[in-house]
Amino acid sequence: MATLQKIRSRGPLLLIVIGLAMLAFILGDAWKIIRPNQGIQYVGTIDGTKITAMEYQAELEKYTDVMKFANNVQDFTEEQNNAIKEEVWAVMVRNHLLNKEAQAIGLTVTDTEVRELIERGTDPILANTPFADETGKFDADNLKTFLATYTTLDPNSVSYEEYSYYQTLYNYWLFIESNIKSSLLYSKYQALVNASIVSNPIAAKDSYENRIKRADVLLASLPYSTLADADVEITSADVKKAYDEKKAMLYTYSENRDIYYIDYEILPSQADREAQMAETNEIVNQLEEADEDYAAILRRAGSVMSFSEVARSANNLPDDVVERLDSVKVGGTFGPYYSFYDDTYNAFKLLSIENGYDSIQFSLMQIIADDEAMIASRADSIANALKKGADFEEIASKYNQSAPIQWIAADSYEPATITGDNALYINKLNSMKKNEVAVLNLSSATLVIKVYDVKTPLKKYNLAIVKRPAEFSEETSNKAYNDLSLFVAQNQTLDELKKNAEDSNYHLLYYPGFENYSQNISGVAKSHEALRWAFSAQEGEVSRIYEVGNANDRLLVVAVEKIHPRGYRSIEDAAASLKPSALAQKKYDTLKDKLANKSFDELKGVEGVQIDTIQFVNFTNAAYVASASSNEPTIGPSVMNLATNQATLPMKGEGCVFVAKKITPDSYATEFDENTEKLRLRTIASRDIASSMLEELYFQAKIVDERYKIF
C-alpha cells in the first residue's frame, strides 16, 4: 500500500531497521497486569470520585501499547513499567481535576479547535509522530491520507502485518489527538487564570526596590558551631515552639510508614564458583568444535551476550574480552576465565577480523514492484542511474518514497544483537566505499543503497562470546533461606530484630516515611508483594520472608515501626526533624547577648566573632557567610531600611548570630521603569501559577491512591 510505504519511508526501511538507536536498548521481562483481588474494586479516589480497577487498567494498557509502538519495543523493564504506572495515574488525576474545573466555568475545547491546531502543526507532540516529513516537520496531508485510507481499508486486501500496523498506528493517533485536546484545555484554563493577574504601581515599585536596591554591609557573625551541641539542653517546650512555628510544613497528604527491613543478597558459594568454572570449560570445548550455530551454543550456556552476526569494534566489546584479543588467532578460542569487572565466567572464539567504519553517510530506498523479475530490473535501473549521477531523492520521490541522506554510527548498533536481514544490511554498509552504489537483496525486501561518505576506518571483530554471571546453586539458596528463617523465628518482634540483626550478620535498614506509590521496597525488584504487606500490617509486626530480586537472588524481611496517617504529623513523630531548628533557636538565645550593645570595634574582641564586608547585599538574595558556611537570607531584609552607618540588633541567622551595619548608601543597578516592572511581575505570577495550579487542585481534591493493593 502506497500510504503505508510513505509513512514507513521516513527512516531506513522500518520493516528492517526501525530506529537503529533503539537496538541497543536493553529489554527486560514483560510485565503482567495483576488482576483485581477478590473483593477489591477500586484503586483510589479523586475528589470524591472512586476510580475502578478496570478504568485504571484500561488506561494502563492503552498507554503501554502506545509507548511500545512509539519506542518500537515489545516489552519494558520492571522499572519502566513502574514509571508508566505513575504517569498514567498522574494523567488520570490531572484530567479529572481539569475537566471538573472546566465544566464548572463552562470552558470547552471544540473539535474545530483541535483540527485547526493539527492543521497548523505547531504542537511539539506532532513533530514526533510518523506523520512528519523528511525534515521532521509535521505533515497534515500525510495524516489525512492515512486516515482516509484507514477508514476504507479492507482487511482482506492487505497482509496481516500491514493491517496490524495500520490498526496500531490509528490507535496511536487517537492517543495523540486526545492529548492535544487535553493540552489545549489546560492552556485555555491557564490563560484564563493568567488573565486575572494585574499589577499596580505600588507593587511594581516595591518589587523593583527589593530586587535592585543594594548596599555594602559590615557583618559581625558568631557561628552556632562555637557552642557545642552537648552544652545545649533542648526541652519539650523548645520542641513545642519549633513545632508551632513549622506546623504548616508538617502536613502529609497520604499515609506513610516508618519501616525496617533486611535485604539479604544470596551470593554464590566457593563450591558454586568452582562448578561454574568447570561448566564454562565444557562450553569452551563446544566452541572449539563448532563451525556454525554459535547462537545456539551461547543460548544453552546462559550467556548474557547473545551471538551477533555483525562484527564489533573494540570499544563496543567487554573490557575483559578486549584485554585478551591479542592472545588468540582467528579461529582460536580463549578461556575459560573469571572476570572481576562484572563477576562473570567467560570464554570466546574469534571467528574473523573485518574492516568497517565508525560512521557511514548513506541513502537507501526499497524497491517495490509486482513480481521479483520487475523488482530486480527496477533495482538495476535505479542503481545504474545513480552511478551516472542521478539524484537519489528525486528518483525516490517518483516511487512515493523519501531517501534523505543520513548518518549511522557504529555505537548505535554494535552493542545490540543483530541477525538475519538486519545483519546483512549493516554488514553491506560497512563493506561499501565512499560514493559506491549497490543493490542488496534481503529475504523481505530489495534495497538500493548509496554511501556518500565514511569516517574513521576501524578493525572489527566477529566473536562468539560466552559471558555467564556468577550464579548460586539451589543448595546455596536453600541454606540462605533456612538460615534467615531460623533467625526470624528466633526474633519475632521489631525490638528483637534491632537487637540481634548485626550479631547474626544481617543488616537492618531503616526507611522513614515510606509511601505506597514507591512500587517496591527501597528499589528492590519484584518486592511489590512485600509492599502490600507493609501497608496492611500493624505497628510492630514482622513479615514473612519474601524471595525477591530480578533473579530471585534476594531475601526480604520487613517490619513496621510507625504508621503516620494523613494530616499533620504529631509532635512526637516530628521531634527528631524539629531538633535542629530548636537547637539553632536555643544557641541564638544563648549567644545573642555576646553581640548586644557593642560597637563593631568592641565586637572585634569577642571570642569567635568574625568581621567581614559583604558587597551588594539586597532584599531578595541570600548573603553567604564564610565563617558559618551558610547562606543567610535575613541579612538583606534586616538592613534595607536602615540609614547609612546604622546597625541592626543581634539577629538570628541560619548558621550564626549576626549584627549587620549598612556602610554605603543605597544604590540602584538600573533605572525604574514602571511598565517593565509590571510586565515582569505578571510574568513571574504566570509562571508560578503554571507550576502550582494543578498542585493546589490536587491537594484540595484529597486524592486517595490505593493502586498498590491491586497493581
List C-alpha distances in Å: 709 to 78, 92, 438, 564, 614.
Answer: 17, 18, 58, 18, 56
Task: Kindly tell me the sign of the dihedral angle through the C-alpha atoms of 207, 208, 209, 213.
Answer: positive
Q: DSSP letter at 235?
A: P
Are residues 388 and 342 in contact, defined by beta-carbon separation less than 8 angstroms?
A: no
pLDDT at 500: 96
pLDDT at 16: 29
pLDDT at 573: 85
Give the residue-averaged pLDDT of 554-564. 96
Band (278; pLDDT cuts 50, 70, 90): very high
- Nearest partner of 527 among 507, 555, 503, judged by Cα: 555
650-706 residue pLDDT tens: 999 999 999 999 999 999 988 999 999 999 888 888 888 877 887 888 888 888 898
| Complete domains list, the chain, with CATH | 2-195+704-709 (no CATH), 213-249+572-668 (no CATH), 256-267+472-565 (3.10.50.40), 271-469 (3.10.50.40)
314-367 residue pLDDT tens: 999 999 999 999 999 999 999 999 999 999 999 999 999 999 999 999 999 999
How long, in residues, is the chain? 711
Give the residue-averaged pLDDT of 584-595. 95
pLDDT at 15: 28
Band (8; pLDDT cuts 50, 70, 90): very low
pTM: 0.69
pLDDT at 572: 87
Higher pLDDT, 628 or 20: 628
SS (H, E, C) 251-280: EECCCEEEEEEEEEECCCCHHHHHHHHHHH
Question: In this structure, which amino acid lies at residue 97?
Answer: L
- Cα distance from N-terminal residue to C-terminal residue, the chain: 41
pLDDT at 1: 41
- Count helices and strands (H / E) in the chain: 23, 22
The SS3 call for residue 443 is coil
134-193 residue pLDDT tens: 667 888 888 998 899 888 888 888 888 888 888 989 999 999 999 999 999 988 988 888
How many whole angstroms separate alpha carbon 275 and alpha carbon 281?
10
pLDDT at 576: 87
Band (40; pLDDT cuts 50, 70, 90): low
